[in-house]
A and B are shown apart, each in its own frame.
Chain A
Amino acid sequence: EAQVTQNPRYLITVTGKKLTVTCSQNMNHEYMSWYRQDPGLGLRQIYYSMNVEVTDKGDVPEGYKVSRKEKRNFPLILESPSPNQTSLYFCASSFKGLADTQYFGPGTRLTVL
């Protein structure tokens, strides 16, 4: 089954404790991206990747890092999480880019205390 998976689905952590949210897709997609969804703000793009080792900033990259060492995985790293990073995070992928359908993962709800 074609899908985008994220782990963990739920996470409660404390300020400053490094964490990684994993994202994996099994569709051999080149394009992957991370979004956060906040009440009243909709979906905002954090980072995206056009292919292995090629990443770029989206609208709200501050406080986040990403890596794309292999095509299927695109982890989101929070080196020193802060409470304002409490949010619902979505990973997405598509075959070539925005002209193709993006498939979203189920979301990761992160709470930073």
Chain B
Amino acid sequence: DQQVKQNSPSLSVQEGRISILNCDYTNSMFDYFLWYKKYPAEGPTFLISISSIKDKNEDGRFTVFLNKSAKHLSLHIVPSQPGDSAVYFCAASESNSGYALNFGKGTSLLVTP
């Protein structure tokens, strides 16, 4: 059963606007969350992470928000650029039970000029 869900398979945003990618999880024991970005024919690359002790983490144009009560996190990209067009994977882990990492199915973001 999918424990990390990205319910939007795709998203299209105009250049300069905000992109918001959403992720929901079902396992309340997850305490570390990551976002990865993947271009075609390449491996995923780490983008940003957040621990459950925080509700926000920011890195340049990228901000991740965590709502533990709703078991929801989101990735905001502001402003969006055409080079941001990629597949974005949300991932979660339960750090006390080992090192397994659970990924969502990914959201394909297209930023149009």
| Contact between chains at B95 and A98 (CB < 8 Å) | yes
Chain A, Cβ-Cβ closest to B46:
A101
How big is the A interface, by class? Answer: 20 to 34
| Contact between chains at B43 and A42 (CB < 8 Å) | no
The residues of B that contact A40 with a CB separation of less than 8 Å are 105
Assess whether B102 is interfacial by the CB under 8 Å rule.
yes
Using a CB–CB cutoff of 8 Å, the interface residues on chain A facing chain B are 4, 31, 33, 35, 40-45, 48, 50, 56, 58-59, 90, 92, 97-99, 101-107
* Complex Cα spacing A88 to B28, Å: 30
| Contact between chains at B105 and A33 (CB < 8 Å) | no
Chain B contact residue count (CB 8 A cutoff):
24
CB-CB under 8 A for A45 and B43, given A56-B98, A98-B32:
no
The residues of B that contact A104 with a CB separation of less than 8 Å are 36, 43-45
Among B41, B89, B95, B102, contact of A59 (Cβ-Cβ < 8 Å): B102
The residues of B that contact A90 with a CB separation of less than 8 Å are 43-44
Chief secondary structure at chain A's binding surface: strand
* Complex Cα spacing A55 to B104, Å: 23
| Contact between chains at A58 and B89 (CB < 8 Å) | no
| Contact between chains at A106 and B42 (CB < 8 Å) | yes
Assess whether B93 is interfacial by the CB under 8 Å rule.
yes
Task: Pick 10 A–B contacts, CB within 8 A, sort by A.
Answer: A35-B103, A45-B101, A45-B102, A56-B98, A58-B100, A58-B101, A92-B43, A97-B95, A102-B101, A103-B46
The residues of B that contact A107 with a CB separation of less than 8 Å are 41-43
The residues of A that contact B49 with a CB separation of less than 8 Å are 99
- Expressed in whole angstroms, the minimum distance between the Cβ of B40 and any Cβ of chain A is 10
The residues of B that contact A101 with a CB separation of less than 8 Å are 46
